[in-house]
Structure 1
Amino acid sequence: MAEQSRNAWISKDDPKLVSARQKDMFEDILEDRRHSSDLRYSLKTRDVTTFKLNKPRVPLQIKEHVMKSDRVNFAIDQTCLDTKLPREEIVAEAMSILDEMAHNLRTGAVRGFAFFLIKVMKSLYRRIYVNVDGIQKIRGLIKEYPILLMPSHRSYMDFLLMSYVFYNYDLPLPVIAAAMDFMGMKFFGWLLRNSGAFYIRRSFGEDHLYWAIFTEYVQCQICNGDNPIEFYVEGTRSRTAKSYTPKFGMLSAALEPYFKSHIPDIIVVPVSISYDRILEESLYAYELLGVPKPKESTSGLLKARKILEENFGNIHIVFGQPISIRKYSEGLVDRSLHNLAPRYIASLTNQEQDLIKKLGHHMVLTQQKHMVVSPWSLMASVLMQSQGGVSLRQLGKEVEWVKRQASNLGAYCDWPASESAESVLRANLKLHENIVRVSQEDVVELVRVAPPAHAKATDAMMITAGQHLMLSLYRNHILHVFVRPAMIAISVNTCNEERLSIDDLYTKYTFLENLLCKDFVFIPGNTKADFELALLTLTHTCGVVMENNEVVIAKSTNKHTTFYSHMFEPFLLGYWILCQYLLSNHPNVAGKPLAKTQKNLVKEAQMLTARLLQEGVVKHYEMLSLDMMNNGLHALYSMGGVSKERRDGVVYMYPNMRQLSTITDYLAKFVDVPPLPSVSINLHSKTITVNAKL
């Protein structure tokens, strides 16, 4: 694929120097706002397109519909039978749940919110680019079908941006599934609710009444086409700038009306939001290290207003190709199977559940496909492999090389083609001067990052790890581009034989995919196709040599395979240390491996990693990430290396020594592992006892 540039014709991508609003297929929606009245804009007359079958109603009428629905009344009756409580008490509980959940979308609040948002956006960002063709497709479809919006979720700004974009283009504002965290914020919780946010619990468990109210509330708005419904298929914000594996609860509830023939079709729109600089970068880094995030509050928001003085660069918002569920499911599901069952009883066939899982993965991968790669992400991928610093000149050469590789693999790189590489680098170094600096000798190096106030971190290792994790956020933004070719490159780069058969290579690829399946998103059942495409890419563009269905190792080991291998080395080495920690756990009195909670296991593994970093045994500070440890533990569980058991409602985990030993030994073939003594850890005293000198 030819190298791509989003703004090849712009000599300087700076609002002060460029007056044009368009850039390739994008439009900057902040440009006009910088030259006209914000108040007039927030009070403008909006000619909003609506769904053709919509019967206008206010939020109170939606709540009345939910309480009168067969689904909710059936759930109330069942709850009465289960709890032996009077119906009036359960009805009151249902009303309380609905009042807590429901939005109260009001035009006055929306206009006030629009005025506030414009001020914030203009202060924080230089440009907000939107692909206009995506907006026009939505405008045409919104008249005919209910719309589900599924944005990527890397920042709190995501749902504000979506509302702002829809307000700007005179589209009906989406109602947004929001976490309960925001509800407790004085004034802002009220403002969000009145601007279309409806609050849902993070977990419903076995609360059938809550499930029924939530499902009916979502579905009645889909069927009536009141507003587009926006939710995050990943379930929560990504603290790592990598996509999370999809969650299916909300998606199942949203698509059930189609499967049960309440409506003829639903349109699903994937949305990719790419940030030059993430607002929460410092908070994320320390949260990954185990520092609890500060509770969402109005006072905290006001204290954070000093960030309005900082520059967070550009945002690119890409609305992907809308997907018709009717066409997507054609020949895959049989809707007539629901004809004889009451429609208010939640039930999906195995075919429908499989389709939902397939669609969820498709949504996440489509979001990744349309992510815009900034120069800083390319720079971060080089800097993460040059922790001692790198000259600006060498950085430029390496970044140009990485840009070519990313473009060849299908990434969209937002690189001003008419600017010199040095000017692009310096502009991005300036944007991220809180992380890196250029010395007098023109060496790019990390700077000491002050931890956020709530972290209260004075430990030097914690601060250093925070620096590296902040940088890794931006490297992570492009890892999905490289992960499949890299899994082959790792196998090639670490092979000790002269040749590697394609069957053995596929076995290694499958092992790595299983190991990395929680850190990266792979479509279940698509392993073989992914492998073949990745191998084809490497042989055509990366110098991997195949002869007689074998990889010739000496001819294939090159800069591509080495760079790709090093990109993912922290993950493999981090998993290996986790395995070693689990294998070192002392048995209980019965001689079996000691079971511990997941939280304790990952915390103790993090403590071991910290000790190894202190001793210089390993060098990747991002291995201290609790997210990486958690993902590794879940992957080991899916591979049979770890088991779970539940005691008094608490889940405990323990290693299956034989299987875990096999996994650990095989993993060691893919990464240079350090000599590691047996280790015991006492979490309560926060000490590490090493049985031999490191």
Structure 2
Amino acid sequence: MSENKTEERLRLLMEEYHKAGASNVPNVPLSFDDPEHEHRNLTEKEPRRMREDPVAFMLNIGLHYQGTGWRGYQHYIGNKIFYPGFSDRMKSLVLSSQKVEQVIGELADRQAQELIAVQKKKNMSEEERAKRIAKQRKRLQKELEVVAKGITEKCVSTMDDIRAVRFFAFSLNNILVRLYHQGIHIKESQWVELKRVALMAQQKKQSLILVPSHKSHIDYLVVSYIFFRLGLQIPHIVAGENLDLPVVGRLLKSCGAFFIKREWGGNPLYKTVMEEYITTLLSEGMNFECFVEGTRSRLGKLLTPKLGIIKIILDAIVDNRFEDCHLVPMSLGYDKIIETSSYANELLGNPKEKESLWGLITNTRVLQLKWGRVDVRLGKPFSLRNWLDEQIKLRGPMDLTQMSQKSILLKSLGYRVLSDINSVAVVMPSALLGTVLLTLRGRGVGRSELIRRVDWLIKVINAKGGQVAEFHGMSTGVVVDRTVQIHKDLIGEQKVKDLLEPTFYGINPFELSYYRNQVIHMFVEEAIVCVALYTVVKLGGSKVDQRMRYTDLLDEISFLSSLLKLDMIYKPGGVENNMRRTVRWLADNHVIEVSEDGWVGLSDAERECGRENYDFLCFLIWPFVESYWLAAVSLFSLVASRRAYSPTNRSSSAEMKLFANRAQALGKTLYYQGDLSYLEAVNKETLNTAFTRYQEQGIMVLHRHATPKPWSEIALTDDFVPQREDGILVPKGPLWDLVEHIGRFRMEGKNRRDSATVSTRVLRLAEILAEENAVPSANQKTLLKKLSQENKQQAPTTSSSKL
């Protein structure tokens, strides 16, 4: 569909909408007569470099300067922004809000009373004391008002001048078309539907809440660029204060970004101001963008939801601060992510590089590269008010003043958004190749075999209701060749003489796994079933020996699903229903077979093809299984050191950050010694998620301390403390049972067939870490010193009472 046809369709849509009235939104059919043209490349005709076509490039600059067509951004859908005094009005609404004034008053009163109490003046009458408190309160209130004003000055976006956003759109247009030379692709019908909802929202002064996946710093730039280009109100964007950089931070604020601190808990005034700002934006019908994952995913797959901003929105609608808003799940797919190499370094425990968005997008070397395409897809927008009503109707009466009940809704909303994002996510060519290369046995793969497996993967994804990037008539071979060229730093071609065909291999499997993980949500249930069945397949023997009873398989699936629940996003319906559906799919696709008497095993067809489809599914999830196994093994280092161990002193604690670093060191040692199959297993993101899961399961506890600065301390619960016999760690007890249970799902390795030998090696290394954990960290020493001082202060009182 051409741009003119799209605009004509939307014009008719607007006319019908206004005729129908705001309360009766027209249900216009959104299917297209020509589905082949439903996918549109927004930047297809944009000149990329001056040397390629100097005339077109200069003409394009002129169009941007004159504000021709979409470049002028004059007739966008949504409530008005970019007028003089816009940001001053927002600041005024926030600072004059009842909640901000109330918190300032409460803080001033409390601090005034504390100051007077500290002075401890004798013979002060109640009247004089009251006067002093009132005087201090007045002074403190003025100071707190200044502080609140400073917070708004720093945080509130400054969307006052349309020239700023036009300049930014021009700059961003030139950067994106050069970096992603194959274009920014959208699905036309999804944006027609979004514009329909946006028209209704504008009429009712309601907001669109954009909740995209978060893979790169480029995400919010791409979203704002598309909204600018398609004539929708640009969203206000929640961004971390680490991006409030000189020059670029000011430019981002002028285009809708507002910067927030990561932690608000200890600052009630800051918390109240930010909550009121977000609520004010929504009550004024401003479009709003936040990332439900909270941070960029370093793993490639969606992260578990972080619900801080969502909680503010839900609280506000429960309190009827605004009538309604519409959530818009979005998926952004890239052929290549700018930050993957830095992600890999961070996950391996190397120091995090200082953030520099400006450095990323203006790096001369980067801008000379050609990194393929971007695909942006939208989930169906849904009313938050309607969703809330449906949940209450489904769950029965709920007291939303109770945090425990509200938390249930918050979690449900977070996972609903993630599920919607996954349902519209496009599998990019990079994800196809990365997945195939990392799920095949051997040192490499021939070009013909690579093409065959990519074709198979595309077919399976489409059959499962997933979406693969539109190739626009290109053959799979061409797509493979182009993707290899884009990722020549990750995918290598063997240069050995006399090879009969081009042969490819993964140069950097750890970094390449980022792209493989973008596919895992499509097959997570199937992968879990296959890995659960692997507990008998790995034992070898005849076909009869490699079977498992359906009920036993369900037990193993339940264990594994529960273990990985924080890392994986499952389909709704519960373990049993999901298993039934998944086993049926695997059987229909001839991967497994189920006998009439309830035995499950590999099918004859799968055995004949060398288990390639079964292995593919296992390879997807094995790195995560290994990571959880490593996390469990590392907990053995929390036993008391050999010298300190006694029946009354069996466990020790460690500072969480140091412990996590030592767990990574253990993992790297085990990998290079052959006891871990995947270097990915040592990535700190999955390890930390595993520790969080073990905390939920009551295996370990985490103690948080505020001094000398916020830090956490980890220890085992009593039931899971490892045993020593004659001073030596032994593979016994509940913790070792957990390690053994997880170990049954791991891929068999040539160095790991003898579990007794493995236990000896692993426990010897855990013993080394236990000795390191026995040395208190600086934070632990400070805590011990503080406790000692408190005990000394209490000692005289105790002594006197005895006398």
Corresponding residue for residue 588 of structure 2: 540
Corresponding residue for residue 593 of structure 1: 651
Q: Is the 8 A contact 1:239 1:288 kept in 2?
A: yes
Spell out, residue by residue over 1:77-117, the C-alpha distance to the aligned partner (whole angstroms, 9 max, x if none). 22224433721222222122222211001312101101110
Q: Is the 8 A contact 1:52 1:143 kept in 2?
A: no
Distance 1:417 1:174, change over 3 A: closer
Spell out, residue by residue over 1:138-184, the C-alpha distance to the aligned partner (whole angstroms, 9 max, x if none). 2222233221000110010000001100110111111100110111x
Distance 1:197 1:494, change over 3 A: same
Of 370, 373, 376 in structure 2, the residue corresponding to residue 311 of structure 1 is 370
Q: Distance in 1 between matches of 2:771 and 2:151?
A: 39
Spell out, residue by residue over 1:203-249, the C-alpha distance to the aligned partner (whole angstroms, 9 max, x if none). 21242222211111011111111x21001011011111110011111
Of 411, 425, 440 in structure 2, the residue corresponding to residue 371 of structure 1 is 425
Corresponding residue for residue 189 of structure 1: 249
Spell out, residue by residue over 1:448-491, the C-alpha distance to the aligned partner (whole angstroms, 9 max, x if none). xxxxxxxxxxxxxxxxxxx2221111111101111111111111
Of 17, 21, 46 in structure 2, the residue corresponding to residue 33 of structure 1 is 46
Q: Is the 8 A contact 2:638 2:770 kept in 1?
A: no
Query: Highest Rg: 1 or 2?
Result: 2
Of 625, 633, 638 in structure 2, the residue corresponding to residue 580 of structure 1 is 633
* Amino acid corresponding to residue 361 of structure 1 in structure 2: Y
SS in 2 for 1:33: coil
Distance 1:355 1:543, change over 3 A: same
1:584 Cα deviation (Å)? Answer: 4.2
* Amino acid corresponding to residue 598 of structure 2 in structure 1: E
SS in 1 for 2:391: coil
Q: Distance in 2 between matches of 1:425 and 1:437?
A: 13
- Structure 1 unaligned blocks of 5 or more: 1-20, 448-466, 687-694
1:301 Cα deviation (Å)? Answer: 4.4
1:663 Cα deviation (Å)? Answer: 1.9
Q: Distance in 1 between matches of 2:304 and 2:579?
A: 19
1:420 Cα deviation (Å)? Answer: 4.0
Structure with the larger RCO, 1 or 2 (CA within 8 Å, 6+ apart) = 1
Of 426, 437, 449 in structure 1, the residue corresponding to residue 481 of structure 2 is 426
Distance 1:661 1:600, change over 3 A: same
* Amino acid corresponding to residue 742 of structure 2 in structure 1: L
Q: Which moved more, 1:613-622 or 1:661-670?
A: 613-622
Q: Which moved more, 1:207-216 or 1:648-657?
A: 648-657
Which structure features the higher share of helix residues?
2
**TM-score calculated relative to the size of structure 2:** 0.74
Q: Distance in 1 between matches of 2:369 and 2:770?
A: 40
* Amino acid corresponding to residue 629 of structure 1 in structure 2: L
Q: Distance in 2 between matches of 1:299 and 1:228?
A: 25
Q: Distance in 1 between matches of 2:216 and 2:590?
A: 34
Corresponding residue for residue 262 of structure 2: 202
Corresponding residue for residue 12 of structure 1: none
Of 122, 141, 150 in structure 1, the residue corresponding to residue 177 of structure 2 is 122
- Structure 2 unaligned blocks of 5 or more: 1-33, 48-55, 113-136, 202-206, 540-544, 722-732, 753-757, 774-803
How do 1:424-573 residues align onto structure 2 when only pairs under 5 Å count?
424-440=479-495, 441=499, 442-447=502-507, 467-495=508-536, 499-522=547-570, 526-548=574-596, 550-555=598-603, 558=607, 559=611, 560-573=613-626
1:52 Cα deviation (Å)? Answer: 7.0
Q: Is the 8 A contact 1:510 1:527 kept in 2?
A: yes
Question: Does 1:149 pair with 2:210?
Answer: yes
Q: Distance in 2 between matches of 1:403 and 1:524?
A: 24
Spell out, residue by residue over 1:540-574, the C-alpha distance to the aligned partner (whole angstroms, 9 max, x if none). 22432223472432548753333211221122122
Corresponding residue for residue 264 of structure 1: 323
Q: Which moved more, 1:53-62 or 1:555-564?
A: 53-62
1:349 Cα deviation (Å)? Answer: 6.1
Q: Distance in 2 between matches of 1:24 and 1:231?
A: 31
Q: Distance in 2 between matches of 1:524 and 1:362?
A: 10
Q: Distance in 2 between matches of 1:327 and 1:220?
A: 21
Spell out, residue by residue over 1:325-373, the C-alpha distance to the aligned partner (whole angstroms, 9 max, x if none). 2322224338xx99xx9xxxx9566554422321210111111121111
Q: Percentage identity across aligned positions?
A: 24
SS in 1 for 2:199: coil
SS in 2 for 1:552: strand
Q: Is the 8 A contact 1:544 1:555 kept in 2?
A: yes
Distance 1:599 1:387, change over 3 A: farther
Q: Is the 8 A contact 1:59 1:104 kept in 2?
A: yes
Distance 1:522 1:553, change over 3 A: closer
* Amino acid corresponding to residue 637 of structure 1 in structure 2: Q
* Amino acid corresponding to residue 409 of structure 2 in structure 1: L
Q: Is the 8 A contact 1:489 1:564 kept in 2?
A: yes
* Amino acid corresponding to residue 278 of structure 2 in structure 1: V
Distance 1:661 1:82, change over 3 A: farther
Q: Distance in 1 between matches of 2:200 and 2:358?
A: 43
Q: Distance in 2 between matches of 1:518 and 1:22?
A: 38
Q: Is the 8 A contact 2:330 2:376 kept in 1?
A: yes
Distance 1:142 1:112, change over 3 A: same
Corresponding residue for residue 194 of structure 2: 138
SS in 1 for 2:355: coil
Q: Distance in 2 between matches of 1:314 and 1:297?
A: 23
Q: Distance in 2 between matches of 1:102 and 1:87?
A: 22
Question: Does 1:389 pair with 2:444?
Answer: yes
Question: Does 1:361 pair with 2:415?
Answer: yes
* Amino acid corresponding to residue 48 of structure 1 in structure 2: H
Q: Distance in 1 between matches of 2:377 and 2:578?
A: 25
Q: Which moved more, 1:306-315 or 1:21-30?
A: 21-30
Q: Is the 8 A contact 2:326 2:384 kept in 1?
A: yes
Q: Is the 8 A contact 1:493 1:562 kept in 2?
A: no
Spell out, residue by residue over 1:404-435, the C-alpha distance to the aligned partner (whole angstroms, 9 max, x if none). 33333222122638544333322211111121
Q: Distance in 1 between matches of 2:619 and 2:668?
A: 20
Q: Which moved more, 1:71-80 or 1:420-429?
A: 420-429
Q: Distance in 2 between matches of 1:642 and 1:349?
A: 25
Corresponding residue for residue 21 of structure 2: none
Q: Is the 8 A contact 2:243 2:357 kept in 1?
A: no
Corresponding residue for residue 164 of structure 2: 109
How do 1:568-647 residues align onto structure 2 when only pairs under 5 Å count?
568-587=621-640, 589=644, 591-647=649-705
1:30 Cα deviation (Å)? Answer: 0.4
Corresponding residue for residue 241 of structure 2: 180
Corresponding residue for residue 668 of structure 1: 743
Spell out, residue by residue over 1:513-533, the C-alpha distance to the aligned partner (whole angstroms, 9 max, x if none). 222123222478744443333
SS in 2 for 1:376: helix
Q: Distance in 1 between matches of 2:357 and 2:689?
A: 33
How do 1:242-281 residues align onto structure 2 when only pairs under 5 Å count?
242-281=301-340
Question: Does 1:222 pair with 2:282?
Answer: yes
Distance 1:438 1:415, change over 3 A: farther
Q: Distance in 2 between matches of 1:58 and 1:395?
A: 55
Q: Distance in 2 between matches of 1:285 and 1:23?
A: 38
Q: Which moved more, 1:520-529 or 1:158-167?
A: 520-529
Question: Does 1:413 pair with 2:488?
Answer: no
Spell out, residue by residue over 1:566-601, the C-alpha distance to the aligned partner (whole angstroms, 9 max, x if none). 221122122212222222444153533221122222
1:292 Cα deviation (Å)? Answer: 2.5
**TM-score calculated relative to the size of structure 1:** 0.85
Q: Distance in 2 between matches of 1:524 and 1:411?
A: 17
SS in 1 for 2:376: strand
